[in-house]
Amino acid sequence: MTDAAAALAATVPVAVIGAGTMGSGIALVAAKAGHPVLLHDANPQAIQRGIDGLRRDLDRLVDKGKISAAARDAQLGRITPMPSIDDIGPAGFVIEAIIEDFSVKRDLFRRVEAAVAPNAILSTNTSSLSVTALAAVIERPERFLGVHFFNPAPILPLVEIVSGHVTAPAVAATAFATCRAWGKTPVHCRSTPGFIVNRVARPFYGETLRLIAEGAATPATLDAILREAGGFRMGPCELMDLIGHDVNYAVTRTVWELLFQDPRYKPSLVQKELVDSGQLGRKTGRGFYDYAKGAPPPVPDDAPAGPRPTSIVIEGDLGPAAALGALAQTAGLTVETRDGGGMIRVDGVALALTDGRSATARFAADGGPEILFDLALDYGTAGRIAIAAADQAPASALATAAGFFQALGKTVSVLDDAPGLVVMRTVAMLINEAADAAHQRVGSIADIDLSMLKGVNYPRGPLAWCDTLGAARIAAVIDGLAAAYGEDRYRTAPLLRRRALTGRPFHSSTPSGH
């Protein structure tokens, strides 16, 4: 069946239950595609507030010349307030977007099922609750699935089409095709805790929270490193402040509990303290950062100016950091190359890309290098590089290393000796989580990468990033983290280990998606 044949006709009414920001946004998406929309909320005043909010948003688009007044009126005209849930009977597709409370949703869907025709599709916009468990409370669970939009729904393209254990494939195909006809980017996934995005993204927050707990660097410094070196649009701390720590902590806790307290998803006491203190981020005026009027912007810690290098020797293959040699030459430095184990010697100080071990542990095992530097998405365009020194290194080594990267035009952040530094450990753990999701058939390799690109704007899909860096390198980084912490949190996903052993990339065409 083609997408066009599977999609619901625009004449089919869509019911949206919940008129908050998410629900009203979904209503607008459906109305823009031409569907009559029946908007219900348990609070009739919330329906009007939701429609008024949409009107304000559309008025701004009219003022900017992005849509016509006639288009605005047509879209709003397709949305009909429904104060009683019994009035949604004509709907062929129901999307629920209410509070994340299982018992409330359970009671709601029993009423919804009684109000609509037997062939109607029922769906939930839940971000973390079990679609399978919700489906089990109704008479026709095969007609139920998750249709998870991302906020703001009219703008963000991704929609996770989540099949429960007994969701009929034709129902999932219709929801997928309908969301595609609405201009969205749908992906199929299985009903597992967090689905794709909220599961794979946990390390983005979790590794930074752990680094804060260990005193490796300040929140502003960690955010700057992941933005300016890692290529992420926002740092984890500013993103958690935007999402709200209560929401982000609740999702982490839900995924952790539903996965039987797997240590990979263990919540952070750092975030719990923010939640307990009521410092929830932007919505309360304080989180990691102060949002009060006139508050100074957060400032990362930058290394002081170091000496300009006089001698640069590159020994062997620098792997992902190979561009540093050409950058040094472009900066006017004389570069000598020799065989070796993949290091840069700057005026006698050895620098190397982190391999997941701490600099201190690596120096003790291998006799060097003195300084480790972090991964960058693109060393040519990266504005910042993080470095850390082994405890055995002379005091002058950090200044020498900082001077080298500063000569290349980079701002330098000095960390305490954190295993894997910041970008490398975060990217490695994202890749590991994505590989595990693929291994457990949560989604296909292509859909997992697409989800992280379209749902949370990562600079690369994690598995494509792994293909660039090499699975063997990523597995070694996770092994290094495991050795440093001695925790099951840092265990290499079986599919990543297989790729490391064979050298086979993730993005190859196989029937299984593996």
Structural domain ending residue among the three candidates 347, 379, 414: 414
Q: Is residue 430 part of a domain?
A: no
* Distance separating alpha carbons of residues 291 and 452, to the nearest angstrom: 28
CA angle 356, 361, 363 (to 5 degrees): 110
| pLDDT given at position 509 | 52
**Residue 242: both structure tokens together:** 């935007």
CA angle 130, 513, 181 (to 5 degrees): 65
* Distance separating alpha carbons of residues 398 and 393, to the nearest angstrom: 8
Q: Are residues 134 and 15 in the same domain?
A: yes
Q: Are residues 118 and 38 in the same domain?
A: yes
β-pair type (384-389, 371-373): antiparallel
| pLDDT given at position 5 | 62
Is residue 135 a contact partner of residue 166, using CB atoms and an 8 Å limit?
yes
**Half-sphere exposure in the Cβ direction for 184 (13 Å, CA):** 34
Who contacts 232 (Cβ-Cβ below 8 Å, separation ≥6)? Answer: 204, 226, 457, 458, 459
Q: Are residues 162 and 61 in the same domain?
A: yes
Q: Is residue 374 part of a domain?
A: yes
Sign of CA dihedral 438, 441, 443, 446: positive
Q: Is residue 208 part of a domain?
A: yes
Residues tagged active-site = 127, 148, 160, 198
Complete DSSP assignment for 371-436? EEE---S-TTT-SEEEEEE-TTS-THHHHHHHHHHHHTT-EEEE--S-TTTTHHHHHHHHHHHHHH
Q: Are residues 73 and 217 in the same domain?
A: no
- Estimate the crossing angle of helix 269-276 against helix 202-213, to 10 degrees: 90
Q: Is residue 51 part of a domain?
A: yes
Structural domain ending residue among the three candidates 142, 175, 191: 191
Q: Are residues 264 and 158 in the same domain?
A: no
Q: Residue 409: left if φ>0, alpha if ψ -120 to 50, beta else—which one?
A: left
Q: Are residues 87 and 121 in the same domain?
A: yes
Q: Is residue 148 part of a domain?
A: yes
Helices then strands, each counted (H, E), the chain: 21, 15
| pLDDT given at position 94 | 98
* Distance separating alpha carbons of residues 275 and 256, to the nearest angstrom: 17
Is residue 384 a contact partner of residue 413, using CB atoms and an 8 Å limit?
yes
Q: Are residues 187 and 203 in the same domain?
A: no
Which CATH number belongs to the domain containing residue 234 in this structure? Answer: 1.10.1040.50
Q: Quick one: 452 exposed, middle or buried, by C-beta within 10 A (0-12, 13-18, 19+)?
A: buried
Residue 86 gets which letter from DSSP?
A: G
Sign of CA dihedral 116, 121, 125, 127: positive
Q: What is the mean pLDDT of each run of 10 residues along the chain (514 residues)?
A: 73 97 97 98 95 97 97 97 96 96 96 97 94 97 98 96 98 98 98 96 98 98 98 98 95 94 97 98 97 96 97 97 98 97 97 98 96 98 98 96 98 98 98 98 98 97 98 98 97 98 86 46
Residue 381 structural domain? 312-414
Which CATH number belongs to the domain containing residue 56 in this structure? Answer: 3.40.50.720
| pLDDT given at position 4 | 52
Helix (H) or strand (E) run with residue 467 in it: helix 462-469
Query: Tell me, what amino acid is at 419?
Result: P
Give me the number of domains the chain comprises.
3
Q: Are residues 112 and 164 in the same domain?
A: yes
Q: Is residue 454 part of a domain?
A: no
Q: Are residues 99 and 130 in the same domain?
A: yes
Q: Are residues 357 and 384 in the same domain?
A: yes
Q: Is residue 437 part of a domain?
A: no
Which CATH number belongs to the domain containing residue 362 in this structure? Answer: 3.30.750.190
**Half-sphere exposure in the Cβ direction for 422 (13 Å, CA):** 38
Q: Are residues 142 and 56 in the same domain?
A: yes
Q: Is residue 4 part of a domain?
A: no
Q: Are residues 28 and 147 in the same domain?
A: yes
Q: What is the dihedral of CA 169, 173, 175, 178, to 10 degrees?
A: -160
